[in-house]
């Protein structure tokens, strides 16, 4: 009987041990499952809190050549009103500073006066694994400004070149320094890479060029047309009252000795000598807010804004004729 009692006790002890093992094993599985659920919920929460970016929503930085500020401000005003969830932070800088920004992760797009050279494309492809896309959005022009009292308002390209070289010592003022797109274009087209004369100096931005010419009767200035070319923009109308816009020798005119003012018509026909493109360079390998803003600039609404600003749209089936310098 004692042996039977011991055997019964042993069986009960074994059953209890099995029961406890099963209980703890089940609880361990429950804890693992619960932990997995918590981890999954945390991951989902983290994902849901991550910034969302689409072609019409998100937050990006772009850098823009300072001379294009009036037209880009107008484009952003309409774009932001159409897409309130989009936040585009724009920084206006010299052309060389914009190109430098393109190498930074934080800058998605730049807008300047030229595209990328082959060596630059190769460099970005090595750095990013892909080359940024670029193209022309519209055509602007360089306006030559003189004082309201100036009697000489007709210039040949040679005369302008002599002034920029310092052969003609008339005081010349431009927006910024040698790093701007306008200054680079003038050096490439009129000086053939020769240095500017000592009579040439830079103002503190495009708006200051107008102020300087207004206050210095003997000076001549070079400025983007989109600061003085819109006859319906109140600010530009005021700018037009402060200075005169000179006329340049006409290229592609039917008769010799003709002169042309910068305008939508003379830029489009290739008759105004100092026209220059507005380029975008987009650093985006998949559709995002940068692509959305580019689509806006390239399609009907954006192109009409360029047209309304008396610039020449490049994406609306309009082909610009090439003048003497381009």
Q: What is the pLDDT of residues 5-32, one digit of tens each?
A: 444 444 544 554 544 454 445 555 544 4
Residue 178 has pLDDT above 90, yes or no: no
Distance CA 145, CA 247 (A): 9
Q: Which residues does residue 173 pair with via DSSP β-bridges, in sequence order?
A: 201, 221
User: Which tokens is 41 given?
Assistant: 């919920």
Model pLDDT, residue 224: 92
Q: Indicate the pairing of strand 86-93 with strand 247-249.
A: unpaired
Contact 284, 129 (CB under 8 A): no
Q: Indicate the pairing of strand 200-203 with strand 86-93.
A: unpaired
Note the pTM of the prediction, 2 decimals.
0.81
DSSP 158: H
Domain locations in the chain as residue ranges = 51-326
Q: What is the mean pLDDT of the chain?
A: 85
Residue 155 has pLDDT above 50, yes or no: yes
Model pLDDT, residue 30: 44
* pLDDT tens per residue across span 199-237: 999 998 888 999 999 999 999 999 999 999 888 888 888
Distance CA 121, CA 323 (A): 28
Burial of 162 (0-12, 13-18, 19+ CB in 10 A): middle
CATH code matching the domain that covers 51-326, chosen among 3.40.190.290, 3.40.50.720, 3.40.720.10, 3.30.70.100: 3.40.190.290
- 263 C-beta neighbours (distance < 10 Å), count: 18
283 — phi, psi (to 5°)?
Answer: -105, 80
């Amino acid at each position: 009987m004692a042996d039977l009692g011991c055997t019964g006790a042993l069986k009960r002890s074994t059953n209890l041990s099995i029961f406890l093992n099963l209980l703890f094993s089940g609880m361990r599985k429950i804890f693992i499952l619960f932990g997995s659920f918590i981890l999954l919920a945390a991951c989902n929460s983290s994902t849901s809190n991550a910034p969302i970016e689409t072609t019409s929503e998100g937050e990006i930085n772009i850098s823009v050549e300072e001379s294009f500020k009036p037209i880009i401000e107008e484009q952003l005003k309409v774009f932001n009103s159409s897409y309130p969830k989009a936040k585009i932070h724009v920084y206006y800088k010299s052309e060389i500073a914009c190109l430098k920004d393109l190498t930074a992760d934080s800058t998605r797009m730049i807008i300047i006066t030229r595209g990328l050279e082959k060596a630059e494309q190769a460099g970005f492809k090595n750095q990013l694994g892909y080359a940024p896309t670029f193209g022309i959005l519209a055509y602007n022009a360089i306006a030559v400004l003189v004082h309201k009292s100036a009697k000489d308002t007709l210039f040949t390209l040679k005369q302008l070149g002599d002034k920029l070289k310092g052969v003609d010592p008339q005081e010349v003022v431009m927006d910024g320094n040698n790093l701007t797109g306008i200054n680079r274009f003038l050096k490439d087209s009129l000086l053939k890479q020769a240095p500017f004369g000592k009579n040439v100096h830079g103002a503190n931005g495009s708006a200051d060029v107008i102020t300087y010419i207004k206050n210095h009767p003997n000076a001549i200035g070079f400025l983007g047309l989109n600061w003085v070319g819109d006859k319906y923009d109140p600010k530009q109308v005021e700018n037009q009252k402060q200075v005169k816009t000179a006329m340049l020798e006409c290229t592609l005119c039917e008769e010799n000795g003709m002169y042309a003012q910068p305008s939508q018509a003379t830029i489009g026909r290739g008759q105004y000598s100092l026209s220059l493109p507005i380029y975008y360079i987009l650093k985006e390998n998949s559709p995002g807010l940068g692509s959305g803003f580019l689509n806006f600039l390239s399609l009907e609404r954006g192109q009409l804004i360029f047209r309304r600003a008396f610039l020449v749209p490049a994406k609306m089936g309009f082909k610009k004729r090439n003048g003497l310098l381009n």
